[in-house]
Amino acid sequence: MNTEKRNYIGLVVIAVTLTSFLWACSTVPITGRRQFTLIPESELMAMSFTQYSQFLQESKLSTNKEQTALVKNVGTRISVAVEKYFADKGLSNQLANFQWEFNLIEDDTPNAWCMPGGKVVFYTGILPITKDEHGIAVVMGHEIAHAVAKHGSERMSQQLGVQFGAVALSAILAEKPQETQNLYMMAYGATSQMALILPYSRTHEYEADRLGLIFMAMAGYDPSAAVDFWSRMAALSGRGSSMAFLSTHPSDEARIRNLQKVLPEAMSYYQPATR
């Protein structure tokens, strides 16, 4: 192959790569951060809804009607507020495939998570730490923020790149469904093997903290409750408590300082709910 032809092929490869990169880039709402995601939303939602349904079938729903209603009510209020905000900004298409669902699982593990499409699970073990609906709103807002900001898709995309390199995404999805499924489970934590969960980056965590405060404030919950909640989490962690929630959600002085820094922004969205 002569030099001119090699150069031509090289330029074509670069052009295709750049086109793919631009196609896969999106912007996180409010923060404006650019992110790189490879997973088609249709594929992600299909995996999410299937796994969420399977998880509920294999788990024990809480029989405490009051606690269950509280989790569902807080989740509904925040999701409605988020959808209204996105609609007002002309961004409803970003939530078009969301099918919000909120469930409380009977499990002593202090944990909560949200899958793509707004599929949320709280464990009863985290309720003594949240204490009240404002504490629940802190956790709910944070987890919903991860889903809205597509952090899990980012994690999966990064791992796909690490594990499969330049293999086409369509080939990975078609020929390696089990590997893709394993990455999904690791990215979203819908597994009892907590050690296998891919950790969120510091960027993701701080972004979810910021967005979570704003989302709960939009719904009429006092965002200052976040400082108290994370202080309680940090205290438990400091006493050597084994907490699954902290395996992917670091709680320390730096986080609390960051919360205090973004609190004024969140307060600008806060209007106490009228009863």
| pLDDT tens column, 39-80 | 777 877 888 899 899 999 999 999 999 999 999 999 999 999
pTM of the model: 0.77
pLDDT at 92 over 90: yes
Given a contact cutoff of 8 angstroms between Cβ atoms, the answer to whether 148 and 32 are in contact is no
Average pLDDT of the chain, as a whole number: 78
Mean pLDDT within 214-231:
96
Helix (H) / strand (E) containing 48: helix 41-58
Mean pLDDT within 91-105:
95
Residue 191 within a domain: yes
∠ CA 172-175-180, rounded to 5°: 50
Residue 146 within a domain: yes
Residue 83 annotated to the active site: no
Query: Mutual orientation of helices 177-188 and 41-58 as an angle, nearest 10°?
Result: 70
Determine the structural domain holding residue 244 and report its residue range: 37-267
pLDDT of residue 158: 59
| Closest to 211 in 3D by CA, of 26, 24, 25, 33 | 33
* Catalytic member of 4, 58, 133, 143: 143
Residue 20: both structure tokens together: 């793919």
- How many folded domains does the chain comprise? 1
pLDDT of residue 140: 98
Residue 170 within a domain: yes
Residue 9 within a domain: no
Residue 31 within a domain: no
Distances 127 to 104, 113, 118, 146, 180 between C-alpha atoms, Å: 10, 14, 20, 20, 33
